[in-house]
């Protein structure tokens, strides 16, 4: 349990809707939110339905617009409101462009871009009448720098990032903040699944000039908790005057903030 000295505060009994809750970053975020005293709706594609007093697990396909609307409405009705949201659901594709099928391109955009749109729109509709709220979208540093064999992923995250910032512009007059966290290489199954051997981490940290990929100046990979802590901060009242920000959390890999 997080001690009171290390808590951000302001999450007690707030309702937070999280997608991608079964992934490494999503799981870490759910743990932090519960430690902060929030009531958490943890959704993912194959999550079994399990409703408790503080944690409500729900299956959800973010690519299904109607399903997202139903889930958000059901939570808002049952728990009176949704105060915050985190769009963490995402999938990876690593084909070069000339070998990327139409189906693969659409699949990546359906989750990474359309899923974020479905969630942001549904949460915005719930939050706007109340005049407050906070939403964080987990993008990628690949949204801001070309990456070899990652065109679909990078393009989908770039589109998601700009959507989130446009949504933030539209919702700002209603007291609702929308921000982006852009992780770099993070120790999750998505990352390790790209490694061919036990030297994968070392290669990522050192950089790969043959594919024009820089290394990580801090000399380490992020943990899921590193990213989740950044999401937690931007959701919190301590970030109360921050909106439309695009925060890179990548150890300096893209040489930008």
- Confidence (pLDDT) at 9: 85
| CATH level 3 topology of 15-184+222-245 | Rossmann fold (3.40.50)
**Tens of each residue's pLDDT in the chain, 257 residues:** 444 557 888 999 999 999 999 999 999 999 999 999 999 999 999 999 999 999 999 999 999 999 999 999 999 999 999 999 999 999 999 999 999 999 999 999 999 999 999 999 999 999 999 999 999 999 999 999 999 999 999 999 999 999 999 999 999 999 999 999 999 999 887 777 666 677 777 888 989 999 999 999 999 999 999 999 999 999 999 999 999 999 999 999 999 86
Q: Do the beta carbons of residue 167 and residue 118 sit within 8 Å?
A: no
Active site residues per annotation: 153
pLDDT at 2: 45
The set of residues, in sequence order, having a beta carbon less than 8 Å from that of 213 and lying 6+ positions away, is 147, 148, 207
Tokens of 43: 């959704």
Please name the residue that has the structure tokens 């930008």: 256
pTM: 0.95
Position 197 scores a pLDDT of: 75
Q: What does the angle CA 219 – CA 223 – CA 227 come to, to the nearest 5 degrees?
A: 110
Query: What is the β-pairing status of strands 133-138 and 176-183?
Result: parallel
What residues form DSSP beta bridges with 169? none
Predicted confidence at residue 5, as pLDDT, reads 56
Q: What is the pLDDT of residue 198?
A: 76
Taking alpha carbons only, the member of 121, 104, 6, 5 closest to residue 66 is 121
What is the Cα gyration radius of the chain?
A: 18
Domain ranges of the chain: 15-184+222-245
Place of tokens 């959704």: 43
């Amino acid at each position: 349990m997080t001690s009171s000295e290390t808590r951000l505060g302001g999450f007690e009994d707030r309702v937070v809707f999280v997608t991608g809750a079964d992934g490494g970053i999503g799981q870490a975020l759910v743990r932090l939110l519960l430690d902060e005293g929030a009531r958490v709706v943890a959704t993912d594609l194959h999550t079994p339905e399990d409703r408790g007093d503080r944690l409500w697990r729900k299956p959800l396909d973010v690519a299904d617009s109607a399903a997202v609307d139903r889930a958000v409405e059901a939570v808002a009705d049952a728990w009176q409101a949704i105060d915050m949201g985190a769009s963490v659901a995402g999938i990876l594709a690593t084909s070069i462009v000339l070998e990327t099928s139409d189906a693969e391109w659409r699949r990546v955009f359906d989750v990474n871009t359309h899923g974020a749109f479905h969630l942001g729109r549904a949460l915005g509709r719930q939050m706007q009448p109340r005049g407050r709220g906070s939403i964080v979208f987990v993008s990628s540093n690949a949204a801001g720098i070309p990456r070899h064999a990652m065109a679909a992923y990078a393009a989908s995250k770039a589109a998601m990032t700009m959507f989130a910032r446009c949504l933030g512009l539209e919702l700002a007059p209603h007291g609702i903040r929308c921000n982006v966290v852009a992780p770099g290489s993070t120790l999750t199954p998505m990352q390790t699944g790209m490694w061919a051997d036990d030297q994968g981490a070392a290669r990522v940290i050192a950089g790969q000039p043959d594919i024009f990929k820089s290394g990580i100046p801090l000399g380490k990979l992020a943990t899921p908790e590193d990213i989740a802590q950044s999401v937690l901060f931007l959701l919190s009242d301590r970030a109360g005057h921050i909106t439309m920000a695009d925060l890179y959390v990548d150890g300096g890999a893209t040489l930008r903030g």
